[in-house]
Structures are given as structure tokens and as C-alpha cells.
Amino acid sequence: MINVKVEGSTSESNSNILRRFSRRARYAGIVQKARSLQSRIRPESPAKRKYEKLRKLDRLKEIDRKIKLGKLPDRRYNK
């Protein structure tokens, strides 16, 4: 992380020091980086991906079983 440091003289006002600090922080990209990290989406864990894939396979198996039993129309082959 980039650190921004501003030292003011005794005769300089606090608002001027704050303005210089804000400008340096903006040019250093600190604010932009912090905002991008706020809305960052975490990648799914491998365990969750595996769980979702297994659920999908179970649903597909169940649909195939119902099609074979005639409880659902066969829409696998659209001709």
C-alpha cells in the first residue's frame, strides 16, 4: 500500500494541509483502489463449485428419469 505523508509548517492552515493531502492521495490512486476493493466479488470456493455442480448433475438425472417414465415431455431433441 502506498503511504502519503504531508507535513505542514506552523503558519499553514489545517484546511490547506488537508487539501494537499487529499490531492496527493488522489494522484497516488489510494481512493480509487479502496473503492474498487469495496465492491470486489469474492471468487467461489472450490467446495462450493463442486457442491453446485453435483446439485446440477442430480437435477439433470432426475429430469432424465422423469422423461423416461413419461412424466415430462422429451425436449432434449428439438427437431
pLDDT tens column, 54-75: 999 999 999 999 999 989 888 7
pTM of the model: 0.46
Average pLDDT over residues 13-17: 89
Residue linked to cell 494537499: 20
pLDDT tens, residue by residue, 25-44: 888 888 888 888 888 888 99
Cβ atoms of 27 and 54 within 8 Å: the answer is no
Residue with more model confidence, 64 or 7 = 64
Give CA–CA dist 65/4, Å, rounded.
Answer: 64
